[in-house]
A and B are shown apart, each in its own frame.
Chain A
Amino acid sequence: MNHFTRWSSGCICGLVVGVVLAWTMTGKARDARPPQDRDALVALAQLVETEHRRVDLLVKAGDRAGAIRALEQIADGAWPSEERAGEAAVWMRHDVVGRLVRLELDDTPAVPPHLEALLGRITRRLNDGGGDLPPNAFTARLAGLQGELLERAGRDQAALASYEVALDMNRLLLDALIKEDL
Chain B
Amino acid sequence: MSEPTTPPRGVIDDAWEQELTAGQEAAGEHGDLEADLAMLHLLRHARAPEVLGDEALEEVLEQLKEASAPASTAWWRRRLVRWVAVPACAGLAVVLFVRPGAEDRETVATSSAQAERAAKEAAPLAGSATTAAAPARRRATAAKPYEQQFAALERDARASLRDAVVKSRSRARHEWLASLGTHSKREPNGGTPPGRGGAR
Which A residues are closer than 8 A to B by beta carbons? 31-32, 34-35, 38-39, 41-42, 45, 48-50, 52-53, 55-57, 59-60, 86-88, 91-92, 95, 99, 102-103, 105-106, 136-138, 140-141, 143-145, 147-148, 163, 166-167, 170, 173-174, 177-178, 181-182
Whether B126 lies near A136 (C-beta < 8 A) is no
Q: Shortest distance in angstroms between A117's beta carbon and chain B's nearest beta carbon?
A: 20
User: From residue 10 to 58 of chain B, which have CB atoms closer than 8 A to chain A?
Assistant: none
- Contacts A141-B146, A148-B144 aside, 17 further interface pairs with beta carbons under 8 A come to A31-B163, A32-B161, A38-B168, A42-B165, A42-B172, A52-B124, A53-B127, A55-B132, A59-B133, A91-B157, A92-B125, A137-B149, A140-B153, A163-B146, A173-B149, A173-B156, A174-B149
In chain B, residues 151-200, which have Cβ atoms closer than 8 Å to a Cβ of chain A? Answer: 152-154, 156-157, 160-161, 163-165, 167-169, 171-172, 175
Stretch at the interface among B1-9, B67-75, B81-89, B135-143: B135-143
B108 surroundings in chain A (CB, below 8 A) = 174, 177-178, 181
Within the assembled complex, what's the spacing in Å between the Cα atoms of A59 and B134? 10
Whether the pair B164, A144 counts as a contact (CB closer than 8 A) is no
Q: Is B129 an interface residue (CB 8 A)?
A: yes
B133 and A99: CB pair below 8 A?
A: yes
Contact A45 B165 (CB under 8 A): yes
A57, A86, A103, A148: the one within 8 Å of B136 (CB): A103
Residue of B nearest to A147 (CB): B146
Contact present for A140 and B161 (CB under 8 Å): no
Q: Is B126 a contact of A48 with CB atoms below 8 Å?
A: yes
**12 sample A-B contacts, Cβ–Cβ < 8 Å, listed by A number:** A31-B160, A34-B164, A53-B126, A59-B133, A86-B168, A88-B160, A91-B161, A136-B157, A137-B149, A170-B149, A178-B108, A181-B108
Instruction: Please give, as numbers and ranges, the residues of chain B lying within 8 Å of A181 by CB-CB distance.
Output: 101, 104-105, 108
Asked if B125 and A45 make an inter-chain contact with CB atoms under 8 angstroms apart, the answer reads yes
B116 contacts the other chain (CB 8 A): no
State in angstroms the CA–CA spacing of A53 and B147 once bound together.
Answer: 22
Contact check, A137 vs B153: say whether CB atoms are below 8 A apart: yes
Which B residues, 87 to 131, have Cβ-Cβ distances below 8 Å to chain A?
101, 104-105, 108, 124-129, 131
Tell me whether A178 and B168 are in contact (CB under 8 A).
Answer: no
Chain A residues whose CB sits within 8 angstroms of the CB of B144 once the complex forms: 144, 148
A145 and B149 CA atoms in complex are apart in Å by 13
**Chain B residues whose CB sits within 8 angstroms of the CB of A106 once the complex forms:** 136, 139-140
Asked whether A138 and B157 contact (CB < 8 A) given A48-B125, A53-B129, A167-B146, the answer is: yes
Chain B residues within 8 Å of A177, by CB: 108, 152-153, 156
Chain B's nearest CB lies how many Å from the CB of A65? 14
Q: How far is the CB of B141 from chain A (nearest CB, A)?
A: 11
A76 to chain B, nearest CB (A): 19
Q: Is the CB of A137 within 8 A of B101?
A: no
A103→B140 CA distance, assembly (Å): 10
B157 touches A137 (CB 8 A): yes
